[in-house]
Amino acid sequence: MKEYDGTTLYEYPQINYAVQTITLKSEKEGKAMRSDFNNRQYKAGMGAFFLSGICAISVGIIVSILRDLYQLNYSFSGTLISTMSVGNMAALLFSGILPGKIGERSTTLLLCCGYFLGYMLMALTGNPAVLLLAFLLAGIAKGCTANKCTILVGNNAPDRSKALSLMNAFFSLGALLCPFLISALQRREDRLAMAGVSAAGVLLWFTFFRADMPRQFAFSGKGKSSAGPSFLKNPIFWLLAAQMFFQNAAEYVVNGWIVTYYKSEGILTGAAAAYTVSLQWGMTLVARLILAFGPKVRKPYRALSLMGVGLTLMYVLLLRMETAVPALIVLGLFSFSIAGVYPLTTACIGEMTNSASVGVLLSIGGLGGIIFPWLVGVVADTSGLRTGMAVNLIPCMGIIILPLFISRKARQITE
């Protein structure tokens, strides 16, 4: 008899939902089990998340373009970034309600068209109300895509942690390419850059359209424990949700503000500042590929805390940089350090993975993406952008501390 380890990533396998161990009686049975996975859904999840990387991470560059184009102040720029996060949360709410009424496939196709519509509206007008609507729609598409791709990939792979790390690597690859796409289009016309991202949104919609998604609502978890809201009673889940809050806050601030920050501080000027996004996501891609194809992480909470130490130190150094080369090196190291926090935190929910649990997890995480980019803008208007960026040290420190509490709580449960 052979043991096949589906997700033995976790430090305390006794915790409900934290680990899945499948005993295979023979290689034949193992192959039969693998045949239950839907390869078409798996590939669609990977492809859609790649395109979402282009559309979602373009926001930092697009905000910088809009700010120069329409003379937007820091507060309104931060509000636009936060509005996208509001849309992200709204999508997760809709993803939990609409499938029971119109079906999973129709819900996904309806919500993910926000990328196309949102960026097209940005290209057409600088009206503040329309811009807010545009960022809201883009956020809805982002939330829908993250939710659906996590389920399509996580539930159709033998090793959830590695599959989700690879999925996030595809996202990073899209994010890496987006500045080159935008720069090439912006050379002709600023608004053409937004139209190009809108076109990527159309491709994403067709990727979901061709995926073999169920038309009717069904719980998406693999195990019995995922067939209902019992995850809400698990304290580990809520601590992981808080960790996602800190991760979203730290990452959204950097993604949304770093181009504007480098320009305002004179560290980088003109179109060159936009390529910081490529540096960020290039390093993120490397880190996530290491997670996907490297050795398994046996103690995830310790790993998360160590990642927090690394990214906090790099962020402190980032705020102290005044010249281009050192600033870019530190930014790359920050991106490398934070890259594993999202996929590792998501993988830790284990068998709780379904539409409801992922929706709650990402909704709470989305709050961090709303609150902190907005706070940076508010503080920047009164005390300067460097001081505003320092606000982001709060979630960075949280990423260090919270995994220690999760580890202690897990130990208490097992004793």
Confidence of residue 4 (pLDDT cuts 50, 70, 90): very low
**Dmax of the chain from CA atoms?**
68
| pLDDT of the residue at 95 | 77
Statement: residue 10 has pLDDT above 80: no
| pLDDT of the residue at 92 | 74
Confidence of residue 140 (pLDDT cuts 50, 70, 90): very high
Confidence of residue 217 (pLDDT cuts 50, 70, 90): low
Confidence of residue 271 (pLDDT cuts 50, 70, 90): low
| pLDDT of the residue at 3 | 39
| pLDDT of the residue at 369 | 82
Structural contact between residues 271 and 68, judged by C-beta atoms closer than 8 angstroms: no
pLDDT average, residue stretch 106-120? 93
| pLDDT of the residue at 27 | 37
Statement: residue 219 has pLDDT above 60: no
| pLDDT of the residue at 272 | 67
Confidence of residue 19 (pLDDT cuts 50, 70, 90): very low
Confidence of residue 216 (pLDDT cuts 50, 70, 90): low
pLDDT digits (tens, 9 = 90+) for 152-174: 888 787 777 788 889 988 998 99
| pLDDT of the residue at 25 | 37
pLDDT average, residue stretch 292-307? 85
pLDDT average, residue stretch 9-29? 36
pLDDT digits (tens, 9 = 90+) for 347-388: 777 655 556 677 778 778 888 888 898 899 889 989 999 999
Of 6-10, 51-55, 72-76, the range with the highest mean pLDDT is: 51-55
| pLDDT of the residue at 375 | 92
pLDDT average, residue stretch 262-268? 83
Percent of the chain residues topping a pLDDT of 70: 83
Statement: residue 299 has pLDDT above 90: no
Statement: residue 5 has pLDDT above 50: no
| pLDDT of the residue at 33 | 39
Fold of 2-32+39-218+233-414: Growth Hormone; Chain: A; (1.20.1250)
- Range with the lowest mean pLDDT among 100-114, 232-246, 297-311, 341-355? 341-355
- Between 319 and 224, the more confident residue is 319
pLDDT average, residue stretch 168-183? 88
The mean pLDDT value of the chain amounts to 81
